[in-house]
Each structure stands twice: as structure tokens, then as C-alpha cells.
Amino acid sequence: MCGIIGYAGCRPAVPVVIEGLHRLEYRGYDSAGVAFAQNKYLRVIRAKGKLSALEEKLATEQITTATCAMGHTRWATHGVPAERNAHPHSSNDGALAIVHNGIIENFQELKTELTAKGHVFHSETDTEVLVNLIAECRKREPDLLYAFAAALRLAHGAYAVCLMERGAPDTFYAARMSAPLIFGIGAGENFAASDIPAFLPYTRKVIFLDDGDIVQASAKNYRILRLENLQPAAHEPQKILWDMQAAQKNGYRHFMLKEIFEQPRVIADAMAGRVSPQGDAVLLPELDDLPVPARLHIVACGTSWHAALWGRHLLESWAHIPVQTEIASEFRYRDNLPLGKGDMALVISQSGETADTLAALRMAKKQGAAAIGLCNVIGSSIAREASTVLYTQAGPEISVASTKAMCSQMLMLALMALYWQAKQDRPTDAARRKGWLDILASLPAMLEEALPAMHETARRLSRKYAQARNFFYLGRGHCFALALEGALKLKELSYIHAEGYAAGEMKHGPIALIDPAFPTFAVALDDPLFPKTKSNIEEVQARQGKVIALTNEGTGLSADDVWTVPHLPPPLAGFMVLPALQLFSYEMADYLGKDVDQPRNLAKSVTVE
Ligand code: F6R
């Protein structure tokens, strides 16, 4: 939800900032802007639309070689996408400029007070209020860092901000509260950004800032203080081990396609070091200090919630743990959270920054429950606040629509189920456990082999079905979770209306919609539920509904399009279904000319409610 970057160093700063914004554009792309010092002024250049619009504008401007600058790419919260609402925002006197990711909740009250003091506002944003608040505090405070801190203490809400002042053209300031911000320490240059790829070409040495940290940085110096007492914050810089290649397209047409094709490696990476050398035990030291949950509440949003629904089947059937899965935005507002003695929460979030999921984690902890985090982004808020964290190790996911992250979450849920199964020491489970682990170990090679044919089928079918305006996705058991994911992927990428349903639920109403123009994508694998799903498919066909059936060789299923994927026992068969669904949506969207990596109205990291 918005990407910010600040830079102070020895290079021309605007190109560094623009390059960083390109790697942050997945966080928002309604408008973009930069600020830098030029001829004793703080210049602010902004443009509505994607970063390319800003670049076009910059190409027509005379830009000096400022060595300090900051930039922003926006996902609108307060105020429509328009240049006046784009960041950076300036104080009325033009002395300060700010970029902001987050929401200042009391901005309306602050605005009223500032208006009474003579401040004038040109945008609808909370950010313009914040920068004028800092300007107001600056009148009484000779040190900008202290004025900045004084203003932040008055502002309630979530923010990651960078600030520059006309009088100090080589310095940027930054602060973090409930929104991601990472400080990068280079040789003779320093950075702050919403995500590491923004500055990774220049440095791997980072500090994951904490909520309440406030920073002053120039090319050669920096200081990080605590907002509450302005004392130095204790931080050990960390080294980032992955490289930029992980955040580049590597010859693929889109990040999404690359990330789908990365899934065999993602599975292998997620398993690395987590299975005993004999291949018969799961090693999750992160969970060793916790008992087996009496009941597990898995809380997540969107695709991560679909992974939770899928994982529930394994946790229940393999680990004998009763599981409740909840959408985080609902869970956090329940009157009486159903957390009993011995219950635990498991929050799943690729970004580790999703506001509702973070709030759910805090609620669970407040109720005294252990809250396990399952995250992809190292050092993210959820990772840091969880009682213990398991990293999915999927590498940076750049495409806004989540693909490989879900695959890695599913893999980790399978490992957790086997880990807790072993902890219960039921003799009959041990032999089966080895069998499951063998299948998991064989997954990367199987999937690697299957993906090219899957891609081809997805491409062929997309040409046939691209004109549909509606789609049903059906499945039973663990495939119901995948049907929901298939529908979400189709709607978010291609803007075709799609609904995921439990196959057995169709006849309770939705089937009324079926006609020859309303196709169904049914997941009907060769498993014990197959005969039931087959009947539901026949019910659709009896109403002239067209059907794509994703199934296995030998089921004898009859449909308009029968798409077979390699057989795996349920629920691990999900690892073959997921990429097929992803590729179908990808091809549909690409064929329809949609912006696959940056679908309209979306952003990668949803740090607002
Ligand atoms: C869909 C998608 C979203 C996210 C959701 C949760 O493709 O990416 O539905 O899954 O916003 O995000 P995380 O996992 O970061 O909490």
C-alpha cells in the first residue's frame, strides 16, 4: 500500500529513487512523485498514473544532480488518484516535503486545528496534514528531528514516512509506525524504503526499523532514535542473502509467469533443512517450545486465507487438530473470540504487513494464546510480533497477485501437520508420515515436468473461454479451497466475474445462473470425493452449462474440455491443481490485454483496514 524511498549519497539521486520506485511499484500505481533540492528550493514533481507518466514528465524537466531525494508510488486511500493527491506533499511555506505510506487516523481533527492556524490544504490527503503539522512544530523547534518527533507524537495511525527540508538538501528523515520501512546502509550512501529490492543493487546491509523509530540520514552519517524519548535505538544491521535476480523477470513476459514457474524451486527451498536426513521426520525448531494446539485458529486474508482453508484438511486429518479458519477482518471484530485453553492462532501472510491479519495476531496474543506467524517477508511486522515465526522462504513475490507464496504456505502447512502428528506419537501415523514426506520430496521434479504442458493447455483454453463474462469454480474438500483461489485469480487479473463454490452447494441456489454462456471450471480429481463432484458436474451439464474439468488420467470424466494433471494422493494433489488454475487466469488476462502484474485497484501489501 504505497511505496516510499529516501536516498542520500554521492550519486545523482533522482535516477536512484526512480529505479527504486520501479521495484516498489507493485505496492501501488495510482500516481507517483519525487522531491529533491534544486537552486535552494525543494522541487516536487508528481504525475497521475503509473511511474512511466512521472518519468515522461521528468524527461521534460531540467533536473540538477541532487544527491539526496525521495519518492513515492501511491495506492489511494484518502482522495482519488489525481496529481493533487500524489506524493510528495509540501508544507504551505514550501520548506518541507514528505512521502507517506499509511493512514493518519486523526487527520481530520488535526486539519481543523491547522486550518484555524492559517494552514491551507490543496489535497484531500492526510499526508498534507502531517507535513503541515511538522511545519507547525518546526516553528518552535530548532532541530528538525525533534520537530518531526513532536508532530508524530500528535499523529495517530500508521505511517512510514520520509521527510526533506529545503534548508538541509543533503539529508532525509524517516519514521516508522505500523507500516514497513527498512534502512539500507551503503558505502557513502544511505537509504530508507518500504521494501528491500528498492535499494538492493546498492547495499545488502539493512536495519529493519521498529515501530517508533525515527531516522536522520545523510550520505555518510545516520542516527536512529526512539520516538518516545529521543534516545538512540539499539539495532544490529543484518545482511540480505538473496540477490536482485530473485526480483527480476529473467526473460519471462511477466513476474506472475516467472513466479508460477518458480514453484518447484519454492517447494524445494521451503523443505530445505526442514526434513531429517533420513527423510522421516519434520524439523521445525520454531515450534519446539509450543505444545500441540488443542485447537488451531488460522487467520488470514485473500489468497493466504485460501491456503489456510486448504491446510485445514491436512491439519485435521494428519495431525488430528481441530481447525477453524477465519478471515482476519472478521476475526478481529468478533465479540467473544472463541479462543479456549490450549488454543493457538496461526496467522498467514505473505507480506507480513496485512493490517487485518496483524490486528488478529495482536488480538489472539492479548487473549493469552500463542500466535504463530507464517510469513514470507523477513523482518515484517507479523514476523516480529508473532510468538514464533516460520518463514516460507519463497523469495520476493513481485506480481501483485499471489502465486508462489500460496504454494509455499501450503507446503509449510503440510510440514506443520506432519510435525504435530509426530509430536502426538501415534504408532500408526509413523509409516504413513514417511510416505507423505517422500511424496513432498518428489514434488519439485514432478511439478517441473508438468508445468510446460499445463501452460500450453492453459493458453489453448484461454483462447476458447476469454469471451465469457462469468465463471463458476467448483471443488469439494481441499479442492474447494483451490476453487476459491481459482475464482479469485480469474477475477483479479482478467476482471471476469468468477465465483468459487463447494460443488455440493450449487444446487442450493447458484445453479440458477447456469446457461450456455456461463461456464464452470470444475476440479474433480481421482479421489474418494470424485463420484460426488462428477454428479455435480452432470447437474451443470444438464442445464447446458459448459464445463472445463480439471481431473486425472483414467477418471473417464466427460466435459467440454477435460484437462488432466499428474495424479497425486489427496490433499497433496493440490500442488498440481494450484499452478493449473494460476496459469489459466494468467493466460486469460494476458490474452485479454490486461495488466497482469499490476491489476487495477489492487496493491501488494494491504496495510489499511
Ligand atoms: C491475491 C492476493 C491477496 C493477498 C491478500 C493477503 O492474489 O495476493 O488476496 O493474498 O491481500 O496478503 P498477505 O498474504 O500479504 O497477508
pLDDT tens-digit readout, 74-96: 887 777 888 888 999 999 999 99
Active site annotation includes 604: yes
- In ligand 1, which atom is closest to the CA atom of 357? 16
Q: What is the mean pLDDT of residues 301-329?
A: 97
Alpha-carbon Rg for the chain in angstroms? 25
Q: What is the pLDDT of residues 159-215, one digit of tens each?
A: 999 999 999 999 999 999 988 899 999 999 999 999 899 999 999 999 999 999 999
Give the residue, by CA position, lying nearest to ligand 1 atom 16: 349
Measured in whole angstroms, the distance separating CA 114 from the mean position of its chain's CA atoms is 35
Q: Whose CA is nearest to atom 5 of ligand 1?
A: 302
- Residue 198 one-letter amino acid: A
- Topology of domain 3-245 in CATH is Glutamine Phosphoribosylpyrophosphate, subunit 1, domain 1 (3.60.20)
How far away, in angstroms, is 306 Cα from ligand 1 center? 10
Catalytic-residue membership of 2: yes
Give the contacts of 229 (CB within 8 A, at least 6 positions apart): none
How far is it, in rounded angstroms, from Cα 456 to Cα 139?
Answer: 65
At 274, list the grid cell.
526442514
The overall average pLDDT reported for the chain is: 93
pLDDT band at 217 (very low <50, low <70, confident <90, very high): very high
Give pLDDT tens digits for 118-173. Answer: 999 999 899 999 999 999 999 999 999 999 999 999 999 889 999 999 999 999 99
The full set of domain ranges for the chain reads 3-245, 248-426, 449-595
pTM over 0.85: no
Q: Which of 215, 203, 204 is nearest to 160 (CA)?
A: 215
List Cβ<8 Å contacts ≥24 apart for 233-240: 235/207, 235/208, 235/209, 235/210, 236/207, 237/185, 237/205, 237/206, 237/207, 238/205, 238/206, 238/207, 238/208, 238/379, 239/204, 239/205, 239/206, 240/196, 240/200, 240/204, 240/205, 240/206
pLDDT at position 380 is: 87
The pLDDT tens digits for 562-601 are 999 999 999 999 999 999 999 999 999 999 999 999 888 8
pLDDT of residue 331: 92
CA of 566 to the centre of ligand 1 (A): 28
Q: What is the pLDDT of residue 518?
A: 97
Q: Determine the average pLDDT of the residues in 342-351.
A: 96
Ligand 1: does its nearest atom lie under 6 Å from the Cβ of 607? no
The pLDDT confidence band at residue 11, using thresholds 50, 70 and 90, is very high
Alpha-carbon distance of 157 to 307, in angstroms, equals 30
Q: Is the CB of 414 under 6 A from ligand 1?
A: no
Rounded-to-integer distance, Cα 274 and Cα 554, Å: 35
CB atoms within 10 A of CB 204: 18
CB 110 within 8 A of CB 155: yes
For ligand 1, the distance from its centroid to the CA atom of residue 6, given in whole angstroms, is 26
Superfamily of domain covering 449-595: Glucose-6-phosphate isomerase like protein; domain 1 (3.40.50.10490)
Please, which residues have CB within 8 angstroms of residue 524's CB and are 6 or more apart in sequence? 475, 479, 503, 530, 533, 534, 537, 549, 550, 551, 555, 557
Spacing, Cα 213 to ligand 1 middle (Å): 27
What digits encode the pLDDT tens for the residues 542-552? Answer: 999 999 999 99
pLDDT for res 536: 96
Does the C-beta of 301 come closer than 6 Å to ligand 1? Answer: yes
Fold match between 3-245 and 449-595? no
Closest CA to 392 of 303, 281, 496, 491: 303
Q: Residues 412-442: pLDDT tens digits?
A: 999 999 999 999 988 888 888 999 999 999 9
278-292: per-residue pLDDT in tens? 889 999 999 999 999
- Atom index in ligand 1 nearest the CA of residue 403 equals 7
Atom nearest to 377 CA in ligand 1: 15
Question: Looking at the predicted structure, is the pLDDT value of residue 534 above 80?
Answer: yes
Distance CA 518, CA 594 (A): 21
Tell me the β-bridge partners of 323.
296
- Name the residue with the closest Cα to ligand 1, atom 13: 349
The CATH classification number of 248-426 equals 3.40.50.10490
Q: Which pLDDT score, from 0 to 100, does residue 245 have?
A: 67
Percent of the chain, pLDDT > 90?
Answer: 82
Contact 94, 130 (CB under 8 A): no
Q: Is the pLDDT of residue 27 over 90?
A: no
Within 13 Å of residue 63, how many CA atoms lie on the same side as its CB? 21
Q: Kindly report, residue by residue over 234-276, the tens digit of the pLDDT.
A: 999 999 887 776 677 778 999 999 999 999 999 998 998 899 9
**Ligand 1: nearest atom to the Cα of 606:** 11
CA–CA distance, 50 with 597 (Å, rounded to integer): 13
Q: How far is the CA of 149 from the centre of ligand 1 (A)?
A: 33
Q: Is 494 in the pocket of ligand 1 (CB under 6 A)?
A: no
Q: How far is CA 508 from CA 117, 479, 539, 542, in A?
A: 61, 19, 12, 16
Distance CA 109, CA 387 (A): 36
